[in-house]
């Protein structure tokens, strides 16, 4: 059984009852130039947040049935609800500023296909890659706008995404620790390679916003890898201590 699921259930239940918001502000407007800069980019990220989560929930239920983690499906439902709320917040901002929503984008389609390939662990690896990269993107988006509402929205999404990353990274590291060293090493290398490819794909799709925020392609990849290392490659001493604690 996975540890700390009760803690995460409490977290997601609390935020379902007390959701973070991003209300309109006095300095809500964006200039025509700013709108041109961010419109396609923000619409692509809104599409990525928008999902019914049915595949993830099925995977979580199968995993829970095999491993006796009865709290996992409910946590997953609440997690999906938060992601859907992010999509609604972004869509409300877009509608308020005449930004057209997207029905399809190649990067979103790729992430969705990857998530359907296997079970719950692969879902976690794909999800955390998107959220770690999103962390860097939303900071960049906040930096390029003078719109108070959009700045607050970026901070709101970042606060939720950081909690999601904490949850996902904890599960990933715990599941990895149960595997033989050679398997752990292979999974880590493959995931890191996938993460780099995903970060570069985001750079290609969102480079106008990212460049305006001061990121080069190399700098954006480096910043994303710093996020990856912090959350998924903790110091050996920490990882060893966590593994020892789990064996007790």
- Chunked into runs of 10 residues, the chain (248 residues) has average pLDDT values of 90 86 61 91 86 86 92 95 91 90 62 64 91 95 91 92 95 93 93 94 94 96 95 64 44
By C-alpha distance, which of 6, 170, 125, 126 is closest to 72?
6
- Note the pTM of the prediction, 2 decimals: 0.86
pLDDT attached to residue 26: 45
Number of Cβ atoms within 10 Å of the Cβ of 90: 24
pLDDT attached to residue 162: 94
pLDDT attached to residue 246: 45
By C-alpha distance, which of 200, 199, 194 is closest to 172?
194
Q: In the CATH scheme, what is the code of domain 5-15+31-247?
A: 1.10.620.20
The span from the CA of 30 to the CA of 145, in Å, is 8
pLDDT attached to residue 172: 95
Number of Cβ atoms within 10 Å of the Cβ of 206: 24
pLDDT attached to residue 237: 36
pLDDT attached to residue 101: 87
Q: Which residue is listed with tokens 């199968």?
A: 62
pLDDT attached to residue 110: 58
The pair of structure tokens assigned to 115 is 């998530």
pLDDT attached to residue 114: 57
3-state DSSP of the chain: CCCCHHHHHHHHHHHHHCCCCCCCCCCCCCCHHHHHHHHHHHHHHHHHHCCCCHHHHHHHHHHHHHHCCCCHHHHHHHHHHHHHHHHHHHHHHHHHCCCCCCCCCHHHHHHHHHHCCCCHHHHHHHHHHHHHHHHHHHHHHHHHCCCHHHHHHHHHHHHHHHHHHHHHHHHHHHHHHCCCHHHHHHHHHHHHHHHHHHHHHHHHHHHHHHHHCCCCHHHHHHHHHHHHHHHHCCCHHHHHHHHHHHHC
What is the total residue count of the chain?
A: 248
User: What is the separation, in whole angstroms, between the first and last Cα of the chain?
Assistant: 13
Q: Which residue is listed with tokens 């710093």?
A: 226
By C-alpha distance, which of 236, 240, 242 is closest to 171?
242
What are 206-223's pLDDT values in tens digits? 999 999 999 999 999 999
pLDDT attached to residue 103: 73
Q: What percent of the chain has pLDDT over 90?
A: 63
Using CB atoms within 10 Å of the CB of residue 18, give its burial: 0 to 12 exposed, 13 to 18 middle, 19+ buried.
exposed
The pair of structure tokens assigned to 212 is 């305006």
């Amino acid at each position: 059984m996975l540890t700390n699921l009760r803690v995460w259930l409490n977290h997601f239940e609390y935020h379902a009852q007390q959701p973070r918001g991003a209300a309109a502000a006095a300095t809500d407007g964006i200039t025509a130039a700013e709108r041109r800069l961010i419109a396609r980019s923000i619409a692509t990220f809104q599409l990525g947040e928008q999902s019914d989560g049915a595949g993830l929930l099925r995977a979580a239920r199968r995993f829970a049935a095999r491993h006796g983690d009865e709290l996992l499906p409910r946590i997953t439902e609440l997690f999906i609800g938060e992601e859907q709320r992010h999509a609604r917040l972004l869509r409300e901002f877009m509608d308020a500023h005449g930004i057209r929503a997207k029905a399809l984008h190649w990067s979103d389609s790729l992430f969705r296909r990857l998530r359907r390939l296997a079970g719950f662990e692969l879902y976690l690896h794909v999800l955390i890659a998107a959220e770690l990269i999103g962390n860097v993107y939303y900071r960049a988006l906040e930096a390029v706008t003078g719109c108070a509402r959009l700045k607050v929205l970026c901070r709101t999404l970042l606060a939720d995404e950081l909690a999601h990353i904490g949850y996902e990274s904890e599960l990933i590291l715990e599941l990895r620790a149960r595997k033989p060293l050679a398997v752990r090493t292979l999974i880590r290398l493959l995931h890191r390679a996938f993460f780099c490819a995903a970060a570069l794909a985001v750079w290609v799709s969102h480079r106008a916003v990212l460049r305006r925020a001061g990121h080069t392609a190399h700098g954006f990849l480096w910043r994303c890898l710093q996020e990856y290392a912090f959350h998924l490659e903790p110091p050996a001493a920490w990882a060893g201590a966590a593994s020892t604690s789990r064996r007790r």
